[in-house]
Amino acid sequence: MRETSAGPRVLLKRLREMMAEPLEPQERLDHIVREIAQNVVAEVCSLYILRADSILELYATEGLNPNAVHLAQLRLGQGLVGTIAASARPLNLVDAQNHPAFAYLPETGEEIYHSFLGVPVLRAGRVMGVLVVQNRTMRHYREDEMEALETVAMVIAEMIATGDLARLNRPGIELDLRRSVTMKALPFNEGIGLGHVILHEPRIVVTNLFNEDSERELERLDEALSSLRLSIDDMLSRRDVAFEGEHRAVLEAYRMFANDHGWARRLQEAIENGLTAEAAVEKVQSDMRARMLHMTDPYLRERMSDFDDLGNRLLRQLMGRGPDALAEVMPRDAILVARSMGAAELLDYPRERLRGLVLEEGAPTSHIVIVARALGVPTVGQAKGAVSMSENGDPIIVDGEEGQVHLRPQADIETAYAEKVRFRARRQRLYRELRNKPSVTKDGVPVELMMNAGLAVDLPQLAQSGAAGIGLFRTELQFMVASTFPRVEAQERLYREVLDAAGNRPVTFRTIDIGGDKVLPYFKGALHEENPALGWRAIRLTLDRPGLLRTQIRALLKAAGGRELKLMLPMVTEVEEIRQARAIIDREVRHLSRFAYLLPTSLKLGSMIEVPALLWQLDELMQAVDFVSVGSNDLFQFVTATDRGNTLISDRFDPLGVPFLRLLRQIAQAGQASHTPVTLCGELAGRPISAMALIGIGFRSISMAPAAIGPVKAMLCEVPLAELTELMDDALANHGAKADIRSELRQFAEKHDIPV
């Protein structure tokens, strides 16, 4: 082993000396290919760099015609070099000219060479070029020679990434690293953000590549691996807050990778070949990513993100890096790019500098998206490859309306979006003018437009949006962003702050809705469930753990002393659950009365309608509560048996379809018959076209994100309600389930000049 590793070590030693010399980029590349050729005893060594137009250009060569440099070109996928770039895999050939992909470039003079070894130049799994050695004789290159070539390729990748080769480009030619990329994503929160990339967990740039003492580097690696394994074991036992909401299988995958002997062995071999521990991690991580991206098993490809995060954790262990001072590193127009994040992590970033959020994962109802909406941050999710394609400081545009990400956008795209932002600003001024106007239809029917909230940062938007009140205050968000259970004093302080901000406007507090996918890392009673949305959550959990509910009710009663208190119970399945909750509330009222606390002037208890079972108990439900609120997100999910987090089926059924609208109208009519107030809070309320449908089937109170109130009010003020009601009645009575009500509503809006 010592004998075969001598080649790479000698080569790395020469490269280290060469990198320290004050050489021009072309001169340095020429020296590198010459050194490789000598080290591998090759007659040819050539470097091809991938350009933004998907052309591989010859940048340096030893052995081929030197006049071909910057002239010889291959398309991605063309020839042996193009095949390596397209597949991100090396090729080791005894007789290259008989390979079916061989393509002869006459300007290079390579027809006399038979044996061929080519490796991709990789960084973070992205192909940036191809490095090749060739010989006249037919020979099979040894494994240590391939290792040497791959190691040098990593060094070249860093040269490309740092911009060292930019001066070699011809006018109008950009390297692939700077290529403009448009990614399709899912729109999670509307708005448009123009700015510059901030990677949530920035890729650590390894600058110290060559080691002075292999034994010391191996010791450092062992120490870092031990620390990494301990931290992962700790996460598995404590469900660390940084992985809030992730399934246990993900953490188990982390542990599997961290304890993989093959991974550790490859890291050790890279160090023995002359790399530092950090450079070894970077190299093995990049090689692994390139291999796994071409695996056919989708599960293994998805696990690559786990491996990337693990590699970055190991790099941070080796470099002793704590979290950066965010305010110092963030530009004033930051677009945050992340694989996934916890709700608390987003709040660590200075809000005034945040212009957008791009997630590779996530779902419209995930915790991070709820918080992003509360902050009014344009957000997209399922933007695959966003992290690996981005570098800190890259220009980027986030389109939260169309679900697009434009990375390093071309000038015309940037100009078009700048105009779009100016148009939105003009429209926002119009909405501000509507803020204090009555919320009534064109024919004078009042409709309450309420806002959803859940954190103290939401409260200023109550006045700014012109909302009639808070129709849904999600109390669980306070629990989700905390590292321990909030004490009763902290809860009381937040609830009082909410009521003070609302003034005379009503506030509906939903009792804590945790469990299922809303995992609190510090809650030891949580279980791993196959179907968390259908599991032990919300009122089911709090009735089983009444201490949780009693503490929250006590805080709410104290905060609302001398004012009205509206409480709403989530995930109710049977009316009996409401009676059990009311008994707990009555007990807390008696307890506070006994100690002469100031109590609310009135206490109204309501229920969420999210579980379809309540639809067959509507009469009893309306008698048991003071008000109801339809949770359209969960109700639609359960009615259609559609997991809203599953991108394959989340848009398969339309909530503006006949079946679901008939069901919603049934609830609105039941409320009218029993004189019980009914509000709908969910995604449907926040878009003008679907809000118009809700008003047309009888809803007179809807609750939405603060940013949606302006557009919905602009629509409402132009709606002739009598005609709209007639349209909806006719559509739901006479059309089949496949009727396109969405199109009919758009035609109606166009006919009456209603902004939707």
The DSSP bridge pattern shows strands 192-199 and 395-399 to be: antiparallel
Let me know whether 540 and 419 are in one domain.
no
Instruction: Tell me the three-class secondary structure of 240-270, residue by residue.
Output: CHHHCCCCHHHHHHHHHHHCCHHHHHHHHHH
Domain that holds residue 248: 214-319
Same domain, 229 and 343: no
Residue 324 lies in a domain: no
In one letter, which amino acid is 466?
A: G
Q: Are 565 and 626 members of one domain? A: yes
Buried b (16+ CB within 10 A) or exposed e, 536-567: bbbbbbbeeeeebbbbbbbbbbbbbbebebbb
CATH number for the domain including 283?
Answer: 1.10.274.10
Q: How many folded domains does the chain comprise?
A: 4
The pLDDT tens digits for 99-149 are 988 888 888 877 788 899 999 998 766 788 999 999 999 988 888 888 888
In a domain, 373, yes or no: yes
Are 296 and 351 within one domain?
no
Co-location of 162 and 306 in the same domain: no
Last residue of a domain, one of 297, 319, 341: 319
For residue 395, give the CATH number of its domain. Answer: 3.50.30.10
Same domain, 572 and 610: yes
- Checking if the pLDDT of 1 tops 50, the result is no
On whether residue 410 sits in a domain, the answer given is: yes
For residue 366, pLDDT over 80 is answered with: no
Q: Is the dihedral of CA 223, 224, 227, 233 positive or negative?
A: negative
Listed residue (502, 498, 510) closest to 474, CA to CA: 510
d(CA 707, CA 688): 12
Residue 472: which H helix or E strand, with range?
A: strand 470-474
CATH label of the domain that carries residue 105:
3.30.450.40
Would residue 701 count as lying in a domain?
yes
CATH at 512: 3.20.20.60
User: Which residue type is seen at 522?
Assistant: Y
pLDDT of amino acid 240: 34
- Picking from 292, 319, 346, the residue at the C-terminal end of a domain is 319
Give the pLDDT score at 303: 52
- Is residue 325 in some structural domain? no
**186 and 171 in one domain?**
no
Distance CA 69, CA 107 (A): 10
- Three-state SS at 723: helix
In the structure, what pLDDT confidence band is assigned to residue 44 with cuts at 50, 70 and 90?
very high
For residue range 204-227, list pLDDT tens digits in order: 667 677 788 888 889 888 888 888
Task: Please compute the mean of the pLDDT values over residues 306-315 and round it to a whole number.
Answer: 70
What whole-number distance in Å separates Cα of residue 120 and Cα of residue 125? Answer: 10
Residue 371: per-residue pLDDT: 75
In this structure, are 505 and 593 located in the same domain? yes
Clarify whether residues 342 and 464 are in a common domain: no
Per the listing, tokens 């002469």 go with 596
Are 386 and 451 part of one and the same domain? no
- Reply yes or no on whether the pLDDT at 309 is more than 70: no
pLDDT tens string 508-547: 999 999 876 666 666 766 566 777 778 888 999 999 999 9
| Listed ranges 299-308, 421-430, 715-724; the one with the highest mean pLDDT | 715-724
- Which tokens belong to 126? 């992205």
Q: What is the pLDDT of residues 244-282, one digit of tens each?
A: 333 344 455 556 767 777 788 888 888 888 888 888 888
How does residue 154 score in pLDDT terms, banded at 50, 70 and 90? confident
Residues 275 and 371 in one domain: no
Is 207 within a domain?
A: no
Specify the pLDDT at position 249: 47
- Domain end call among 423, 455, 482: 423
The DSSP bridge pattern shows strands 334-338 and 354-359 to be parallel
Per-residue confidence at 591, pLDDT binned at 50, 70, 90?
A: very high
Q: Does a structural domain hold residue 209?
A: no
| Beta-ladder partners of 129 | 49, 121
In a domain, 208, yes or no: no
The verdict on 722 and 576 lying in the same domain is yes
